[in-house]
A and B are shown apart, each in its own frame.
Chain A
Amino acid sequence: MKFGILVFPGSNCDADCYYALKDVIGRDVEYIWHKETAVTGFDALVLPGGFSYGDYLRTGSIARFAPVMPAVVDFARQGGLVLGICNGFQILLESGLLPGAMLRNRSLRFICDTVPLKVEQSNTPFTNQFAPGEIIKLPIAHGEGNYFCDPATLEELRRENRILFSYSSADGEVCEAFNPNGSVANIAGIMNRQGNVLGMMPHPERWVESILGGEDGLRVFASMVNWLERQGVPA
């Protein structure tokens, strides 16, 4: 099983994702430079956080044109697991792998914090190591994390159980008071219809050791590993 981590020149969480996958959970990982045009030999791809090409225009809007992106889109269409974190989520939105768009945070300020999240779905490739409805904590750090979509898309995301994480209170209450950035319906992470692409603003790779404050993020990666392993052995 091999993970690939996309590296755009302004990625800055690539090394953190590498460390989480390689050193903390002991999986094979390789970086994939943005100028590559093929992604072969990988079971899952991670688009890490950062500022892909500076993001002076709109986050992820240039990255979607990166030489590597057509191969990433193909990989996703063929059912490969793709996890976009923070800037990675923004790039997935821009490249049309996920619906909706990202706006600047409601406060118009960058936010760095650690917030409670409700795990809305636990039978997915990315969340199968969580209990249904479990409340976890993960770090967030973004200036444009205010997820927006039209009412029809929101309805569809809900109906198809594609909202995987919502910002919540420590008791699991999902409401405006516990919405750090203004996202529609407190959305923190959504999946595509096929169920193999997840975009999330919180950073699971930052919360993988108790010395850093917590380990909830570990289970996102463990879920992917578990899913990939089970695929090898049909139930």
Chain B
Amino acid sequence: MRELTYHEMGLLDEEYQQIKAFLGREPNYLEVGMFAVMWSEHCGYKNSRPLLKDFPTRGAQVIQGPGENAGVVDIGDGLALVFKIESHNHPSAIEPYQGAATGVGGIVRDIFTMGARPIALLNSLRFGELDDPQVRELFAGVVAGIAGYGNCLGIPTVGGEVSFHPCYKGNPLVNAMCVGLVEQKDIALAVANEVGSPIMIVGAKTGRDGIHGATFASEELSEASRGKRPAVQVGDPFMEKLLIEACLELVQEDLVEGMQDLGAAGLTSSIAEIVSKKDRGAKVDVALVPRREEGMRPYEVMLSESQERMLIVPRAGCEDRIAGIFDKWGLDAVVIGQVTGDGRLRVYEGKTLAGDVPVQALTGGCPIYVRRGQEPPYYQQARGFDPAALPEAELKAALQKLLASPGIASKHWVYSQYDYQVMTNTCLAPGKGDAAVLRIRGTQKGVAFSTDCNSRMVYLDPFRGGMLAVCEAARNLACVGARPLALTNCLNFGNPEKGHIYWQMENAIKGMAAAARELNTPVVSGNVSLYNETAAGAIFPTPVVGMVGLVDNINYCCDLAFKEAGDLLLLLGGFSDQLGGSEYLYILHGLEKGEVPEPDLEAERRLIDLVLELISAGLLRSCHDIADGGLAVTLAECAIAGQLGFEVELPTAGGRPDAILFSEAAGRVVVSTRAQDLDKVRSRAIRRGVDVQILGQVQDGNLVIRRGAKELMIMALQEATKLWEGAITCLMK
């Protein structure tokens, strides 16, 4: 194999000089490779770290914030949720099935590495438009890959989001989130302290797959990327299932001092991470690492990203018991080295020293780049656009088009491929509510999860868009009856070396941080995916928020389906006629412009508190927030889910009807309630300072919207159902 230059490994000249300074000599090939992967953006966060400091990370509910394999929050009863979201964008772009499958595998390992039983998966996916056959192939491959891996593990895939936009054509986003449940006493950390402890590797054998995966994830995609298909790993979910069960047995019996999965940058990263926290070092012999292929060099062994491998540092005296458990599950555990006290990572091949680097240089020595963001010209131009000059689209035709657009239409084609019921805890399955809800056995409680980001809004106004992503995730949790607890995020952006991309990152993160602070949902874990660009340009800035919440009483959670004719329909949070950034402008007028409606964080918090109060008092029969497609789409979705129509009357004052029906201004929720509960709902809303409007009522049959005496729209329920349910299936035929 031809040797790569350090440039080809993604290192800059000044970074190479820094490595030389750390070592006091020229690094050899193995050492350069180790630094290159550890100092890649994917592992080292060299462009994003200064910005991430903005995030609030503390709170009474936080047990473990950023810095470990995943974040941990307290849910009472001695239990905790462990969760994180991570990207697998670049691998999925060139090998959709395996790229997505191994994305699931990686995030699941992060969770059980912490000692938690994985209980749920979610996915946030973005693709180009489905009229393109190449995009359809990517879309189908990614969904099948997620299904193939998650279903085999027996972890339910309960939620997520899918959207489509030309900016993702060559660079789809595949973000996978996993949530685990753990007894707080069993939380395991990736720390090795005891000098002389053996270091074991267990799981799959090491091959040449995935070498420089972390580096590859940190550069733009091009025609040449296809040639990097070997940098994509191949997944073996059965092996992962064995690892989950075996590792959780180790934790149950308290046999390990530290445990760390092998992910990006393989052995190099996991050894460095596990020993660096206590300033330890390690001595490993690559000749002892079980191989899948012959003739692998130390460089390849140390950088391989072969999947389904774990690093274990046993507690003293527990080695035999550990070997027994691995043997039961048919796994080979091999000692490959030991923890040392000198802070150096020394790599041997048999007796020969192949590499010797200071651990802290690998983990903490990574250079940090504080760049300067530059406001792009599009920002002010788009903001200045006034939709008032637009021709008014025919309202019924507009709703038809929106319901049938893949971003809004039913995602049944996707989630019906995921086993969302296994483990028998799923109370609100995909499509049933604004968030997924699982019960926690042995308690009255439930937990809820959602992922959100409206990337067009972030593009048009990164600061407001960042706030909106957090607000929407929190609102979605509230709509099912869950109090938002904390969040994880996956920050997908273009090339940060470009001024306007850095500006997008900077502002989106500021917006997210502001909202997370106001809503008391600290950031406990996350992942950064930069360089999401192709020759056609960068993706929309897409900082995906994954949030978890707690339902106090599982018997009081709420879905989005209308329940009975005669129930009253209320709008909480007021009407709006701001169309900036809406699907309506995009789908009906082909415009991605306008001022993004400014979120009112304080009002959002009051709305969330009100919705939670109403649900726990049993006053709501359905609850659904206003998001993509605005009020009209929200109403239609509730109608379709409950197979009931509605009759709604808009106020005669306040803006054009298309603006009122399709505005996506945040902080608003549509609920239905029994007629006799109206006063109770209204008085609680007034007490919390939330605007309540009576929209109309649920009825059999048609979707009817009036304004004064004028009938604005009438659509048969069956028609709405057919458009919404059939759109994606039809495109994928």
Contacts and interface: CB of A to CB of B under 8 A. Distances in A.
A141 B241 contact: no
Interface string B142-177: 001001100111100000000000000000000000
B678 interface: no
Contacts of A16: 422-424
Nearest to A112: B419
Interface in A137-156: 139, 141, 143
Nearest to B419: A141
Contact of B418 (A15, A20, A112, A203): A112
A4 B329 CA distance: 20
Contacts of A9: 238, 241-242, 245, 329-330
Contact of B154 (A13, A53, A113, A211): A13
B596 to A, nearest CB: 36
B347 interface: no
Contacts, number: 86
B192 interface: no
Interface string A7-18: 001101101100
Contacts of B153: 12
A221 interface: no
Interface in A38-90: 49-51, 53-56
Given A9-B241, A9-B329, A110-B417, A50 B424 contact: no
B423 A109 contact: no
Interface string A172-197: 00000000000000000000000000
Q: Which of B151, B330, B422 has the most CB of A within 10 A?
A: B422
A206 interface: yes
Interface residues of B, number: 34
B424 A205 contact: yes
B622 interface: no
Contacts of A227: none
B154 to A, nearest CB: 2
A111 interface: yes
Interface in B241-281: 241-242, 245
A48 to B, nearest CB: 10
Nearest to A16: B424
A110 B147 contact: yes
Contacts of A50: 154
Interface string B318-362: 000000000001100000000000000000000000000000000
Contacts of A56: 238
A147 B154 CA distance: 22
Given A10-B238, A51-B152, A54-B152, A112 B420 contact: yes
A213 B421 CA distance: 10
A163 interface: no
A10 B416 contact: no
Nearest to A139: B421
Nearest to A17: B424
A141 B152 CA distance: 11
A51 B422 contact: no
B236 A112 contact: no
B186 to A, nearest CB: 17
A211 B415 contact: no
A111 B422 contact: no
B237 A54 contact: yes
B610 interface: no
B113 interface: no
Contacts of A209: 424
B416 A208 contact: no
Nearest to B429: A213
A111 B416 contact: yes
A111 B415 CA distance: 9
A9 B421 CA distance: 20
Contact of A53 (B148, B238, B419, B439): B238
B424 A10 contact: no
Contacts of B245: 9
B416 A113 contact: yes
Given A12-B153, A50-B154, A211 B554 contact: yes
A10 to B, nearest CB: 5
Kindly name the residue among B152, B330, B424, B429 whose own CB sees the greatest number of chain A CB atoms within 10 A: B424
A233 interface: no
Interface string A104-137: 0000011111100000000000000000000000
A112 B421 contact: yes
Contacts of B236: 54
A193 to B, nearest CB: 32
B184 interface: no
A12 B242 CA distance: 11
Nearest to B557: A211
A224 B409 CA distance: 43
B553 to A, nearest CB: 12
A155 B416 CA distance: 33
Which 7 A/B pairs are nearest by Cβ-Cβ distance?
A12-B154, A54-B238, A141-B419, A51-B152, A16-B424, A110-B417, A110-B147
27 contacts: A9-B238, A9-B330, A10-B238, A10-B242, A12-B153, A12-B154, A12-B241, A12-B422, A13-B154, A19-B441, A20-B424, A49-B422, A51-B152, A54-B152, A55-B152, A109-B416, A110-B147, A110-B151, A111-B417, A112-B415, A112-B417, A141-B151, A141-B421, A141-B422, A206-B421, A211-B439, A213-B429
Given A12-B422, A212-B421, 9 more contacts: A9-B329, A10-B152, A12-B152, A19-B424, A51-B152, A51-B238, A110-B418, A141-B421, A141-B422
